[in-house]
Amino acid sequence: MDDVIAAKFEIAELISRYGNCLDAGDFDGLEAMFAPDAAFLVVPDRGVPPMRGRRVIRDTIEQRWALVHRNAQRRHVMSNIVVESVDRDHARARTVLLVYEVAKAPGSEIHLHGMGVYEDVLARKDGRWCFAERRLILDRTDYFSPGWESTK
């Protein structure tokens, strides 16, 4: 039982740290959270092809981050984390995502940019938990532009 509790804690911390690394632009930290052969999918894809391999995932997210942060600041809030199943080396989790955005112009209002749910498949590699697959299921298709090419 103690091993399951420890695994659930480590997984919840990994999921939360993902949002922190993303918001801070820590792409080395973000890349280290994924298994070498990890997959990342956005459903519906909105023009974002499935990403395979942690370096491709990092590069794709880093390019998007650079585009967004020219004009706005975002915060990715990971909440309602539920580790649905866990054994020694594999787990599944669901997490609610809320993305808030504020333009860099003084006096800009904060608004909800998007919502969705992450469905994660996790694996323990070299004694630490990492994402084997992240699937972001968007609640609405109008949050993100096709191909993630704009900030609206």
CA distance 17 to 75: 12
The secondary structure of residue 149, as a DSSP letter, is: -
Question: What are the percentages of helix, strand and coil residues in the chain, rounded to 5?
Answer: 30, 45, 25
pTM of the model: 0.89
Q: What is the pLDDT of residues 54-64, one digit of tens each?
A: 999 999 999 98
Domains present along the chain, CATH in parentheses = 2-148 (3.10.450.50)
Give the pLDDT of residue 143.
63
Q: What is the pLDDT of residues 12-34, one digit of tens each?
A: 999 999 999 999 999 999 999 99
